[in-house]
A and B are shown apart, each in its own frame.
Chain A
Amino acid sequence: MEISPEEFVRACYQCGTCSGVCPKARVKSGFLPRKMVYEIITGHTDREIKSGDSWDCLTCGHCQAICPMKVDFLKMVQETRKTGQNGVCKIAHENTLGFYKIMKDSKVTPKKTEFLADDVKTNEDSDVLYFMGCTTYFDIIFKEDVGFEGMGIADNTIRLLNAVGITPAVLDEEKCCGHDQFWRGQNRLFEEFAKQNAKFLKKYKTIVTGCPECYRTLKEEYKALGIDLDVKHISEFLADHKDRLKGKGNGATVTFHDSCRLGRYMNIYDPPRELLDAAGLEIKEMVKSRDEALCCGVSAFVNCDSENKEIRKQKIKDAIETGADILVTPCPKCQIHLKCLQCDESEPEDYNNIKIMDLSTVLMENLEPAQSVDTSKSQPDESGEESDDNDGN
């Protein structure tokens, strides 16, 4: 083994708190984060890779959040996957997701802007870039079968930006951020995407993403490659401009799902809630919320099986128990995974008592621009950056 992940895990004193909180350990017997760490510390990385445990991990980050010794579980899992790639891993929808094989080539330019709705306003010269991510592709793959509203997410995110007086740039040449490739341990492919994206991302002052996975990847993983960007999640960005929006007063009860990439990875808990509150929606928290939020069940489509389904069932049950009308999720992938369960006709129980919607769609339906938008230039803004953006329009 050339790469030894043990460096990040030495501090472990085998208390087992991680195994106690791990949602996967609850549904799969024999899967214990503590055991994974033990195998690696004692030098049995090979055995650990062969057992396939690191592929069963959801990378939800629960263990890392609670670990008293701050063991870097996520880095350990990523490094192990990188070392043992092509190992014991099954990727759901792998064949359909093979379009990455074409996308990775720098000679083809994706077409993304033509899938946008007609009423969204974009401007190539803007300082703000909206990074669409994979919504276009997932829209094509999952719309018919699970009712995933991919392009709705992209359209509504741009509409929200328009509502606060910002016309973002949207680019055709943008490739996938490489999140899934990174977490599957395909670092070369990930770096290839990063290299191609970095060429144009650096031209923009602020990058707004509607997807927590893109957000995390562009902000942290790209930084590790030496690509420093100012990235903001749409909720973070809009929370800064909350005064330019007002609720329509539709009124509904919602419950918010803290996706792992936005919550535990990036510590964004309040901005989405502030926005939902500003939209006049009543938030009912699930039994487990914020940094204790339950994972949606799969990440990067790795090893999706019946055990992961149990986690998803629990998640939707928790959401239904709150009595809310809508389960708001900030992450498109969480929406795919959860809607997939709702569409499953072989399930004896009914999980359709709650509507699953994306954060941007819910916000767009319940917010409208306040009167002051036209005069936004004269409005004093706490951050000079955004007012510059308005001048650009």
Chain B
Amino acid sequence: MEFEPKAIVFACNWCSYAGADLAGVSRMQYPTNTRVIRTMCSGRFDPEFVFEAFEKGIDGVLICGCHPGDCHYIEGNLKAEKKVNMTKELLHAVGMDPRRFRLEWVSASEGSKFASLIKEFVDTLKELGPSPLKKDGKGGKSGKDGGSSKQDMDLSRGESLEEEQKIGGD
């Protein structure tokens, strides 16, 4: 069976979430491997989101925001860009492939861009294979066959929380 990656999309309320909505309303087809989380601004993004998501076994994280200059909060997206660049470098330094993490600008009218973006991102993730941090232990080593079972698709939070408490979360 082909590897089905799991990815989180953080979409800003004013542009990208509306863009994603437009893609849905216009009945555009795009892969179902992503879960969208709405944030009020892409500037809400915090490096912690990415680290925590990868720790819990996600394969990729995508941040979507308004185009520079269009931000509802004037410069939230530029702040996001700065943080994203730093996080990418950090991910590379700790040994994660920075291609698993992207920032893209999607406006409210770009439904088709959102659909093609998700498709392209999921293709990249399929190419990269499962994240090395995947909880089922198949990650990284076995390449394409890891983690596509039903159990895998629901984000099993209980297990990870237990683990976190054991380690003593910061």
Contact = CB atoms under 8 A, between A and B. Distances in A.
Q: Do A and B come from one complex?
A: yes
Interface of A: 85-86, 91, 94-105, 107-112, 115, 136-137, 140-141, 144, 184-189, 192
B55 A186 contact: no
A115 B52 contact: no
Contacts of B48: 94-96, 98
B22 interface: no
The 7 closest A-B pairs by CB, nearest first: A95-B48, A108-B95, A98-B51, A101-B55, A107-B132, A186-B168, A140-B89
A194 B72 CA distance: 47
A255 B140 CA distance: 50
Nearest to A103: B94
A91 B48 CA distance: 13
Contacts of B47: 95-96, 98-99
B63 to A, nearest CB: 15
Contacts, number: 85
Nearest to A94: B170
Given A96-B47, A188-B167, A111 B93 contact: yes
B86 A108 contact: no
Given A136-B93, A137-B94, 4 more contacts: A86-B169, A95-B46, A112-B93, A140-B93
Contacts of A189: 167-168
* Chain B facing A: main interface SS: helix
B140 A107 contact: yes
A136 B132 CA distance: 22
A137 B92 CA distance: 10
- By CB atoms of chain A within 10 A, which of B51, B55, B91, B95 has the most? B95
A177 B24 CA distance: 48
Contact of A140 (B54, B90, B132, B133): B90
Contact of B167 (A99, A103, A144, A186): A186
Contacts of B51: 98-99, 101-102
Contacts of A187: 168
Interface string B30-58: 00000000000000001110011011000
Interface in B71-129: 86, 89-96
A198 B96 CA distance: 22
Given A99-B90, A101-B52, A140-B89, A109 B170 contact: no
B139 interface: yes
B150 interface: no
Contacts of B90: 96, 99, 137, 140-141
A188 B94 contact: no
A136 B93 CA distance: 7
Contacts of A110: 93-95
Contacts of A99: 47, 51, 90-91, 93-94
5 contacts: A91-B170, A107-B140, A108-B94, A108-B132, A185-B168
B157 interface: no
Contacts of A185: 168
Given A107-B139, A108-B133, A86 B168 contact: yes
Contacts of B170: 91, 94, 97-98, 100, 184, 186
Contacts of A100: 170
A108 B95 CA distance: 5
Contact of B91 (A91, A102, A104, A112): A102
Nearest to A172: B95
B140 A141 contact: no
Given A108-B132, A186-B170, A188-B166, A102 B139 contact: no
A105 B91 CA distance: 13
A105 B93 contact: no
B168 A105 contact: no
B168 A85 contact: yes
A137 B90 CA distance: 6
